Amino acid sequence: MDRRIGAHVSISGGVEKAVNRQEDAGGNCGQIFAGSPRTWKVSSYEEEEGEKFHELRGEGDQNPYVIHSTYLVNLATPKDDLFRKSLKCLQEELEAAGKLGVEYVVFHPGSHTGSGRENGIERIAEGLDELDIPENVTLLLENTAGKGTTLGKSMGELRQMMEATDTDNEKIGVCIDTCHAHAAGYELREQEGFEDFIQEIKEDLGLENLKVLHLNDSKDEKGSEKDNHEHIGEGNIGLDGFRNVVNSEALKKKPMVLETPVEDDKGYRENIEELRGLIE
């Protein structure tokens, strides 16, 4: 089985350019933004663009793809205006995915900002139920580092969000980020701790609900609640942690997308090669 490992690439100059960038990085799956990640603006796409993107992906054997939602989205917020803006933005991103033939849209569940955990989870569920998720698109909740009032730090919290919604669970799932899991206190480096982590995924989420992995090393210590990505093997998760991830029987069929730093002397290609070199 050909392992699916790719990277988050730019759509600058047109969404089809992402396919070439992915090829240059040595990836065979990928992730993009559908607009600017620090604004509410989502690009609108024509059917032809979607067909071209899909055709090029097919030629390059690049699948699946993910749209990462803007960082501004916060479905857990008690503020109605922010909640409405977040829903509108997510809906537009889901529609972009539908047009482009992108399989997944991933978003950070958000922060309750003082309204309380239970209220935040209920609010997220309310938001999910208002969204119209296109056919062939799955919306993914991403685990978080857990800083402040952000929700989604534990597998159990993600499960509660999925259980609280009336949305068909076939339309929603989970994306797990290794840097966020490490920051939240999960052990990825030592075999026993890593196996406990996998067991928690199985029991709390169900492996079938885990659709995508974000592979990022961490600049910070385990349990720091800080979300600072590092090159594979150069951070506090280290090569032992990623060796566990890429060789895990439970995870090896899951697409793995890198969001590691891109610098003049080191980018996605080197990180993907590092990961592929760890596969036993």
Residue 53 covered by a domain:
no
State residue 162's pLDDT score: 97
Is 104 labeled as catalytic in the residue annotation?
no
Residue 158 covered by a domain:
yes
Over residues 77-124, the pLDDT tens digits come to 999 999 999 999 999 999 999 999 999 999 999 999 999 999 999 999
What's at 227, amino acid-wise?
A: D
State residue 33's pLDDT score: 97
Choose the catalytic residue: 177, 187, 230, 274: 177
Is 180 labeled as catalytic in the residue annotation?
yes
Residue 157 covered by a domain:
yes
pTM higher than the cut 0.85 = yes
Choose the catalytic residue: 51, 61, 71, 163: 71
Is 8 labeled as catalytic in the residue annotation?
no
State residue 79's pLDDT score: 98
- Can you give the CATH number for the domain in which 127 is found? 3.20.20.150
Structural domain harbouring 158: 68-278
Residue 262 covered by a domain:
yes
Instruction: Give the residue ranges of the chain where pLDDT is below 70.
Output: 1
Residue 142 covered by a domain:
yes
Over residues 42-87, the pLDDT tens digits come to 999 998 999 999 999 999 999 999 999 999 999 999 999 999 999 9
Split into its structural domains, the chain has a count of: 1
Residue 47 covered by a domain:
no
Residue 4 covered by a domain:
no
Is 108 labeled as catalytic in the residue annotation?
yes
Is 68 labeled as catalytic in the residue annotation?
yes
- % of the chain surpassing 90 pLDDT: 96
Is 2 labeled as catalytic in the residue annotation?
no
